[in-house]
Amino acid sequence: YISHNSDARKMTTPRQNKPLLLKNRLYLLHIFLLLVMNTTAQQQEEEQQDKILLDIHIPLTKSQSCAARQARASNLYLRNHDGAYHQEIDFPKLHTPHATLYQTEFYKSDLPEIQSTVENIAAEFLDSYVSNCKAGIELELTQKISSGNYAMLDIAPNPCLRKLSDVIVQSLLPYVVFPAEIPEWVHHIKNAKQRARKMELVQLYGSPNVLDEFQPHVTVGYNEVDPIGQRTVFLGMMDDDTSSCAGVFDTVAIGFVGIGGSVLHGSLYEAKLTPSSSSADPDPDSVEVK
């Protein structure tokens, strides 16, 4: 014989256990979510550690070149007048004067492939991609440009330089980190059409200064504290016949990026542009345009 009270106890036991079961399930769900979050955080940290900001460029390291001398002299002038405005670029101690071909974020694990690609391009470029270049790339400085925090020496349009940049961009695209961050200065471009195009290029290639927006220059100054002071000093600097100042360079380098898009001393990798077999002057170190 089973009493009604006993039946009642049996009927209420499952209901009494429901809060405990629910609590256990919530606890297990909490543990699961913590594991997922921890795994995601580890993956994000690993991905961040695998990213590296690189600048593929032509270093202006030929001491006898007019272009190299002009770049160093401009930076020296700015640094000698830095009492009021804190010049950040220092060619003698920290940075390399250069003309950027492609600057963006890459996967560090792809560095061997990136280096190999640049080496192959350098070996084949003068013979395979162009027919009107000398045994190197000519860089002709034209005018001083002050824009935002930057002081720059503009480089005259050069089909060889543009082609070299295009080839490097297209060849290294598989190793670029996406999505790429749009640089702050791009948002401040007044021309709406140009601003939109540069944003599009960042989305497609990881850089706003490539292809039809390739604008070669040599950055000789960078100032976040007092860019107006830098502008006044830079534009007031005596011109040393900059329009006829040029040089021919035969090296493509990969470097680490410093403040303001600068390139730090100590190239990660360098490759020589192999002189064209049809070049009349096989020694690019002997070539200088005055």
Q: pLDDT per position in the chain (290 positions), as tens? A: 445 555 545 555 555 566 666 667 777 777 777 777 765 555 555 555 689 999 999 999 866 788 888 999 999 999 988 655 689 999 999 999 999 999 999 999 999 999 999 999 999 888 777 666 766 888 999 889 999 899 999 999 989 999 999 999 999 999 999 999 998 889 999 999 999 999 999 999 999 999 999 999 999 999 998 888 889 889 888 665 555 688 888 899 999 999 999 999 988 899 998 875 544 444 444 334 33
Domain residue ranges of the chain, discontinuous segments joined by +: 1-49, 51-286
Dihedral angle sign, alpha carbons of residues 241, 244, 215, 107: negative
Task: Name every residue whose Cβ is closer than 8 Å to that of residue 160 and which is 6 or more positions away in sequence.
Answer: 130, 132, 133, 137, 138
Let me know: does 140 contact 245? Beta carbons within 8 Å: yes
Three-point CA angle 223, 98, 162, nearest 5°: 115
Token pair listed for 96 = 């390399």
Task: Give the pLDDT confidence of 222-278 residue by residue, as tens digits.
Answer: 999 888 888 988 988 866 555 568 888 889 999 999 999 999 998 889 999 887 554
Inter-residue contact 99 to 218 (CB < 8 Å): yes
CATH entry 3.40.50.410 includes domain 51-286: no
Distance between first and last Cα of the chain? 117
The one-letter amino acid at 142: T
CA 164 – CA 290 distance, rounded (Å): 23
Q: What is the pLDDT of residue 26?
A: 72
CB-CB contact of 273 with 136 (8 Å)? yes
State both tokens at 185: 């200065």
pTM of the complete model = 0.78
Strand partners of residue 276: none
Mean pLDDT of the chain: 82
Nearest CA to 69 among 246, 264, 231?
Answer: 246
